[in-house]
Structure 1
Amino acid sequence: MEHVILVDDAGTPVGTADKSAVHGRDTPLHLAFSCYVFDSRGQFLCTRRASGKRTWPGIWTNSCCGHPQPGETMEGAMLRRLADELGLTPSRWGMVLPDFRYRAVMDNGIVEYEICPVFAAFVDTDPVPDPAEVGDHAWIDWRGFRALVDTGALDISPWCRLQLDGLAHLPAQPRDWPLSEPPARWREPLAPPAAVPTASGGA
């Protein structure tokens, strides 16, 4: 069973919840991450969420998202999900938007509400996606991707759209982005199971 780590507004863990039950009309604030993957040519790996996903199924988005598990570091969660979802092991990586958070509501009322630091990762191989997680994928020039989004030609997830606003302040070429270590609060194992009570989550 996969969990999410519930947090207060400052990002301090206050409990855990079953991931399959937590996303509803009153989703509590919880921890997540996003990752943008690039290859040696500087191409961006854009992925489409599998049609069976509870939130924003079938929508194009950044390369990989996920939730750290109790006792896991944020960086460890990112590397685990890259391997599980895409079969990728990056050659270098780092955090680019450590303070990103958002709240978004689907047309059916389901809410996503996350503190979601953003990583960039660079790989030397093509992905082998898990079809339960990824419905499609494409390598695309980063500037071209931004243009498709800006002109409305490509509909993307709400978190990806908001993250692009922050990433716009970085150098134009992703290979030149400053990759930093996660802040101290994300370098320690998050919410050790023995120290954090279990919460039931949303509907």
Structure 2
Amino acid sequence: MSPVEMVVLVDEEGREVGLAPKATVHTSTTPLHRAFSCYVFDTDDRLLITRRAADKRTFPGLWTNSVCGHPGPGETDRDAITRRGAAELRLQVHDVAPVLPRFRYRAEHQGVVENEVCPVYLARAVDPAAITPDPTEVADLRWTTWDELLDAVRSRPGTFSPWSRTQTRLMAADGQPSRYLVRRTAPALAEEGRTT
């Protein structure tokens, strides 16, 4: 029997105030809780976007970031990114870097509310060819460029999750992820022994 997945409830300052089973949290009165979003790039700076499975309780069938989820009790965001990346996509990442550490949002779809303190991260895929989506989580995936994603969000906003629409707008206004990608070029990764 699988253990019950718990989410961390927080107050307006982001301080932990309790725990709740994930299965009971997302309703019409969803309490504020911890989450994360991560945008994963390969070494050619292509970005992985995913489409949520059609039977997901929250925002089914919409395109979104590479991986998102909820850190468990006592779990860091980085550990949660590693765990959810492996579970949803068999994805391993490195060079996880925060880009919107104070991001928070509330959104509603078909009577179900998301209400999250949701820091945003960028990361690199260890082996993009090994990615295998779990169909109960991910209906489709695509490698694209940052500029192509921005164009798609602007031209077809209704096909993207509300958090990814806001996150991409904020990152674009701040020069992210281009500043991060310039800093994490292939020569820099090779110097660190990350590539051959």
> TM-score normalized by structure 1?
0.82
Q: CA deviation at 1:124?
A: 3.7
SS of the aligned residue for 2:98 comes to strand
Q: CA deviation at 1:135?
A: 0.7
Determine whether 1:49 maps to 2:55: no
Determine the structure 1 residue equivalent to 2:83. Answer: 80
Q: CA deviation at 1:91?
A: 3.0
Determine whether 1:105 maps to 2:108: yes
Q: CA deviation at 1:153?
A: 6.9
What root-mean-square deviation, in Å, do the aligned CA atoms of Structure 1 and Structure 2 show? 1.6
Please show how residues 22-171 of structure 1 align to structure 2 within 5 Å.
Answer: 22-106=25-109, 108-126=110-128, 127-152=131-156, 155-168=159-172, 169-171=174-176
Q: What is the alpha-carbon distance in structure 1 between the residues aligned to residue 98 and residue 73 of structure 2?
A: 20
Question: One-letter code of the match for 2:162?
Answer: P
SS of the aligned residue for 1:131 comes to coil
SS of the aligned residue for 1:65 comes to strand
Moved more, 69-78 or 96-105: 69-78
The answer to whether the 8 Å contact 1:48/1:136 transfers is: yes
The count of aligned residue pairs is: 177
**Alpha-carbon deviations, 1:134-156, whole Å to 9, x = none?**
11000011111111111227720
The answer to whether the 8 Å contact 1:148/1:154 transfers is: no
Q: What is the alpha-carbon distance in structure 1 between the residues aligned to residue 20 and residue 89 of structure 2?
A: 25
The answer to whether the 8 Å contact 2:99/2:176 transfers is: no
Q: CA deviation at 1:177?
A: 6.3
Match for 1:6 among 5, 9, 22? 9
**Alpha-carbon deviations, 1:119-178, whole Å to 9, x = none?**
101114222111111110000111111111112277200000011122111246351268
**Alpha-carbon deviations, 1:20-64, whole Å to 9, x = none?**
111111000000000001111111101000112100111110000
Structure 2, unpaired ranges of 5+: 185-196
Q: What is the alpha-carbon distance in structure 1 between the residues aligned to residue 58 and residue 7 of structure 2?
A: 15
Question: One-letter code of the match for 1:45?
Answer: L
CA separation of 1:102 and 1:137: change in aligned 2, threshold 3 A: same
Structure 1, unpaired ranges of 5+: 179-203
Percent identity over the alignment is 47
Moved more, 6-15 or 169-178: 169-178
Question: One-letter code of the match for 1:5?
Answer: V
**Larger RCO, structure (CA 8 Å, separation 6 or more):** 1
Moved more, 122-131 or 16-25: 122-131
